[in-house]
């Protein structure tokens, strides 16, 4: 049975489910309901199959490998897939999130009926998932690039799906441009590797990796980091992410933010730790610094946001930064020969990958439910939704606690493991490198605190107090299928937290399948009561113990309060309001909440403030009618990086344009001269 599932037929069935879902949705496009049910049903089916397949592949003794021989038609293109434990882990993450997003999607997509084509949504949605699965399964660089393009193009069409909003079309264009700039870098990295190893097969490249000179290897590192970093959304290559993720339908946003950007992380681990095995120290330190910067700046930008989905998108940048802290520390330890610590770094990174996929999808799905109920993404127009959407509010709260790394939810344990990997670096590395680890620890701690502040703002402004708009006042709870998808994700956030020890051990098996980590002993142990003990007792954490502690503390507090107020009568009276009735205008807004923190970091965030006054009499200008204050932050990446780059590129293009004379004879002359030069060059 297991052999049958892991056979090429099993893998083919996995991809075929999504292909059938895609084509069927397009065929049924005339009926919105049929297209929706068909596409999401096959996505659910395929994802469920993917979960089973991945779990079996993670535990399999030998990795499944499938090769379709197409060398007769395309000599360099070997259509081959290799499912090692790392691939299987990512197939599991993709399938798990796709499974729950598709259940959610069945209900969510209904609000697009009669507005947009549901068939095309189902078509691109299924191809998007299939593309991601193929990306993490490909064992040949050319097949990988084809899968990468399927994923990128399908996700582009999903970003511009709500095309009547011009902001979405613009976000899609930026995403399309950035993703293809990233692809260009990736292609160059593969070509450099091909030049020295003579193969596009990852296994063959890894086997002949010694033939790549150190300088060329470093060029590959920089190109791959830029290419995959663009997809992952590391700062400063992130500019597409806060625009594109919110633009897509929410269940797609959940997949993009929770899973798609992780394909960049997958390839970084694959190239930097699996294909290359002996890497220089500075590679790891670079990734570590980028991770620290991305995590800190990501959360700071999230704090400034008052668009709910953009806020979540910025948190994706933050969490990619945290994952990179794990990957970077693993690279540093690997180049220093400290394989057990390197394995710890990878376990932390992969565990956070799984956790972030879980809670970020949950948050995006909850945000989607709120947005579809209120028809706005502006946090300032929400308020009081806990009374109208109590279950959605509960799920959002769980997601917020998980992303804020509050125990016993999963986010806490993966960040805790990341801390342990960084502490290991401080203890074990020479002073210069260890100082970078010290700064990374500081950045991670600060990130955790700021993330908590950001979600206090988000939960408070969205769900608490009184409604601040008519839409919020009349919002209704989301549909059953939407709540089912969110409920399972919330449950998973708790389960992955409580059983973090077992999950860490399973991920440890994945880590030991990467590169030279097979020889490494995992530097942590897990007791039967799920207590994780790192580096022979340097630190330990037990999720069940923490959960129990919370339950006991809550019981004691409840009992104490009851005992203290048992004899006291509850008197309900009117609040003293100084003569002004307490309306929603008296509430603290999300902008006001975060303003004080923004001002602390004004050197980085460059906040802006514009004031305007409208007078009753514009000529006399004595009596103001209205005052407006517009608060914002400067986009320093556009101002100092992308715009100068664009200006330089435009100037260069203007110069190059002079060769475009419009004269056919001139064009043929170029060909003629090029041909002659080439002939002479080849012959000489």
Partner 1 sequence: MEHLFVQLLIVIMFLAAVFLHVVKKNSTAAVLYCAQSAAMATILLAASIEADSRPLLFVALATFAVKTLIAPLFFAHLIKRHQLKFSASTYLSVPLTLIAVAALTALTRSHIFAPLVALGNGREGMLSLALAMMLISLFLIVNRKGAISQMIGILSLENSIVAFAVFAGLEQAPGLQMGIMFDILVWVVVATVFTSMMYKQFGSLDVTAMQRLKE
Distance of CA 322 to the CA centre of its chain: 11
CB of 663 to partner 1, least distance (A): 6
User: Does the footprint of partner 1 cover residue 654 (CB under 8 A)?
Assistant: no
Return the number of the residue (645 or 668) whose C-beta is nearest partner 1. Answer: 668
Burial of 533 (0-12, 13-18, 19+ CB in 10 A): middle
Beta strands in 396-548 (DSSP E): 524-526, 531-534, 539-542
User: Does the footprint of partner 1 cover residue 680 (CB under 8 A)?
Assistant: yes
CB of 660 to partner 1, least distance (A): 7
Burial of 583 (0-12, 13-18, 19+ CB in 10 A): exposed
Return the number of the residue (636 or 678) whose C-beta is nearest partner 1. Answer: 678
User: Does the footprint of partner 1 cover residue 656 (CB under 8 A)?
Assistant: no
User: Does the footprint of partner 1 cover residue 660 (CB under 8 A)?
Assistant: yes
Return the number of the residue (558 or 669) whose C-beta is nearest partner 1. Answer: 669
**Contact 418/263 with Cβ under 8 angstroms?**
no
| Per-residue binder mask for partner 1 (CB under 8 A), 382-401, x = binder | --------------------
> Using CB under 8 A, which of the segments 256-264, 477-485, 605-613, 663-671 binds partner 1?
663-671
Return the number of the residue (27 or 666) whose C-beta is nearest partner 1. Answer: 666
Helices 339-374 and 500-511: crossing angle in degrees, nearest 10, is 120
Identify whether 302 is preceded by a cis peptide bond (ω within 30 of 0). no
> Which residue in the block uniquely carries the two structure tokens 């009735």?
581
The C-alpha atoms of residue 543 and residue 495 are separated, in whole angstroms, by 10
For the segment 255-274, give every residue that binds partner 1 (CB under 8 A).
Answer: none
User: Does the footprint of partner 1 cover residue 664 (CB under 8 A)?
Assistant: yes
User: Does the footprint of partner 1 cover residue 645 (CB under 8 A)?
Assistant: no
CB of 664 to partner 1, least distance (A): 5
CB of 681 to partner 1, least distance (A): 10
Return the number of the residue (619 or 665) whose C-beta is nearest partner 1. Answer: 665
Return the number of the residue (61 or 684) whose C-beta is nearest partner 1. Answer: 684
Question: 117: part of which helix (H) or strand (E)?
Answer: none
Residue in 200, 180, 181 with CA at minimum distance from that of residue 190 = 200
Q: Please select the residue that binds partner 1; options are 33, 661, 677, 678, rule is CB under 8 A.
A: 661
> Using CB under 8 A, which of the segments 170-178, 402-410, 413-421, 669-677 binds partner 1?
669-677
> Using CB under 8 A, which of the segments 72-80, 228-236, 475-483, 660-668 binds partner 1?
660-668
Task: Collect all residues with Cβ–Cβ distance below 8 Å to 93 and sequence separation of at least 6.
Answer: 259, 262, 353, 354, 357
Return the number of the residue (529 or 677) whose C-beta is nearest partner 1. Answer: 677
CB of 76 to partner 1, least distance (A): 22
User: Does the footprint of partner 1 cover residue 663 (CB under 8 A)?
Assistant: yes
Return the number of the residue (113 or 670) whose C-beta is nearest partner 1. Answer: 670
Q: DSSP per residue over 134-171, as a string? A: HHTTB-BHHHHHHHHHHHHHHHHHHHTSSTTSHHHHHH
Q: Which residues pair with 614 in a beta bridge?
A: 626
Return the number of the residue (626 or 671) whose C-beta is nearest partner 1. Answer: 671
User: Does the footprint of partner 1 cover residue 668 (CB under 8 A)?
Assistant: yes
CB of 676 to partner 1, least distance (A): 8
* Sign of the torsion angle spanned by Cα atoms 507, 512, 513, 514: positive
Burial of 100 (0-12, 13-18, 19+ CB in 10 A): buried
User: Does the footprint of partner 1 cover residue 630 (CB under 8 A)?
Assistant: no
> Using CB under 8 A, which of the segments 152-160, 218-226, 639-647, 672-680 binds partner 1?
672-680
Q: Please select the residue that binds partner 1; options are 191, 675, 677, 678, rule is CB under 8 A.
A: 675
User: Does the footprint of partner 1 cover residue 679 (CB under 8 A)?
Assistant: yes
Residue in 51, 50, 19, 24 with CA at minimum distance from that of residue 37 = 24
CB of 599 to partner 1, least distance (A): 49
User: Does the footprint of partner 1 cover residue 571 (CB under 8 A)?
Assistant: no
User: Does the footprint of partner 1 cover residue 669 (CB under 8 A)?
Assistant: yes
Q: Please select the residue that binds partner 1; options are 573, 581, 612, 662, rule is CB under 8 A.
A: 662
CA atoms within 13 A on the CB side of 29: 14
Burial of 244 (0-12, 13-18, 19+ CB in 10 A): buried
The C-alpha atoms of residue 477 and residue 495 are separated, in whole angstroms, by 25
Identify whether 408 is preceded by a cis peptide bond (ω within 30 of 0). yes
* Other residues' Cβ atoms within 10 Å of the Cβ of residue 189: 23
Return the number of the residue (73 or 570) whose C-beta is nearest partner 1. Answer: 73
How many DSSP H helices and E strands does the chain contain?
28, 7
Q: Count residues near partner 1 (CB under 8 A).
A: 16
Return the number of the residue (630 or 663) whose C-beta is nearest partner 1. Answer: 663
User: Does the footprint of partner 1 cover residue 678 (CB under 8 A)?
Assistant: no
User: Does the footprint of partner 1 cover residue 61 (CB under 8 A)?
Assistant: no
User: Does the footprint of partner 1 cover residue 683 (CB under 8 A)?
Assistant: yes
Where are the alpha helices (H) located in 578-634, listed in sequence order? 590-600, 602-605
User: Does the footprint of partner 1 cover residue 586 (CB under 8 A)?
Assistant: no
Binding site for partner 1 (CB under 8 A): 660-665, 668-669, 671-672, 675-676, 679-680, 683-684
């Amino acid at each position: 049975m297991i052999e049958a599932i892991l056979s090429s037929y099993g893998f083919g069935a996995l991809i075929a489910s999504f292909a059938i879902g895609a084509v069927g949705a397009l065929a049924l496009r005339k009926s919105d309901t049929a297209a929706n049910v068909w596409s999401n049903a096959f996505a659910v089916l395929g994802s469920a199959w993917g979960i089973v397949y991945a779990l079996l592949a993670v535990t399999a003794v030998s990795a499944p490998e499938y090769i379709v021989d197409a060398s007769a038609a395309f000599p360099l293109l070997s259509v081959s897939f290799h499912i090692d434990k790392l691939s299987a882990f990512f197939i599991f993450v993709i399938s798990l999130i796709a499974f729950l997003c598709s259940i959610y999607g069945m209900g969510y997509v209904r609000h697009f009926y009669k507005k947009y084509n549901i068939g095309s949504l189902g078509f691109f949605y299924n191809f998007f998932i299939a593309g991601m699965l193929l990306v993490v399964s490909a064992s040949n660089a050319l097949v990988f690039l084809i899968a990468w393009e399927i994923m990128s193009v399908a996700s582009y069409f999903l970003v511009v799906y709500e095309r009547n909003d011009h902001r979405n079309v613009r976000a899609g264009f930026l995403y399309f441009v950035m993703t293809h700039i990233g692809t260009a870098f990736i292609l160059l990295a593969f070509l450099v590797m091909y030049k020295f190893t003579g193969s596009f097969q990852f296994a063959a490249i890894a086997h002949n990796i010694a033939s790549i000179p150190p300088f060329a290897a470093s060029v590959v590192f920089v190109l791959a980091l830029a290419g995959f970093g663009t997809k992952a959304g590391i700062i400063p290559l992130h500019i597409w992410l806060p625009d594109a993720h919110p633009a897509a339908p929410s269940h797609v946003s959940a997949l993009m933010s929770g899973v798609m950007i992780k394909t960049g992380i997958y390839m970084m681990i694959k190239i930097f730790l699996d294909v290359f095995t002996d890497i220089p120290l500075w590679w790891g330190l670079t990734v570590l610094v980028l991770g620290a910067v991305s995590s800190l700046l990501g959360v700071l930008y999230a704090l400034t946001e008052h668009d709910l989905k953009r806020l979540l998108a910025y948190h994706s940048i933050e969490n990619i930064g945290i994952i990179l802290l794990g990957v970077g520390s693993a690279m540093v330890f690997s180049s220093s020969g400290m394989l057990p610590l390197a394995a710890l770094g990878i376990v932390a990174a992969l565990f956070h990958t799984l956790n972030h996929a879980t809670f970020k999808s949950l948050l995006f799905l909850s945000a989607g439910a709120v947005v579809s109920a209120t028809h706005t993404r502006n946090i300032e127009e929400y308020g009081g939704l806990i009374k109208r959407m109590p279950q959605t509010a509960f799920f959002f709260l769980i997601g917020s606690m998980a992303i804020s790394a509050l125990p016993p939810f999963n986010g806490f344990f993966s960040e805790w493991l990341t801390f342990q990997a960084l502490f290991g670096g401080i203890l074990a590395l020479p002073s210069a490198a260890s100082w970078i680890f010290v700064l990374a620890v500081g950045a991670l701690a600060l990130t955790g605190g700021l993330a908590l502040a950001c979600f206090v703002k988000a939960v408070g402004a969205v769900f608490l107090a009184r409604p601040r708009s008519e839409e919020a006042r009349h919002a209704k709870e989301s549909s059953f299928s939407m709540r089912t998808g969110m409920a399972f994700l919330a449950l998973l956030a708790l389960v992955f937290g409580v059983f973090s020890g077992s999950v860490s051990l399973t991920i440890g098996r994945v880590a030991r399948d990467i590169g030279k980590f097979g020889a490494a002993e995992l530097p942590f142990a897990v007791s039967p009561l799920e207590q994780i003990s790192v580096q022979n007792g340097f630190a330990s954490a037990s999720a069940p113990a923490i959960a129990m502690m919370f339950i006991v503390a809550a019981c004691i507090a409840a009992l104490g309060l009851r005992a203290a107020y048992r004899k006291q009568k509850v008197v309900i009276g009117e609040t003293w309001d100084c003569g002004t009735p307490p309306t929603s205008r008296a509430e603290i807004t999300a902008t006001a909440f975060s303003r004080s923190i923004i001002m602390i970091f004004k050197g980085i965030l460059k906040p802006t403030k514009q004031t305007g006054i409208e007078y009753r009499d514009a000529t006399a200008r004595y009596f103001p009618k209205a005052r407006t204050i517009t608060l914002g932050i400067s986009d320093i990446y556009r101002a100092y990086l992308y715009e100068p780059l664009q200006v330089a590129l435009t100037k260069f293009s203007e110069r190059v344009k002079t060769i475009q004379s419009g004269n056919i004879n001139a064009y043929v002359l170029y060909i003629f001269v090029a041909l002659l030069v080439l002939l002479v060059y080849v012959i000489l």
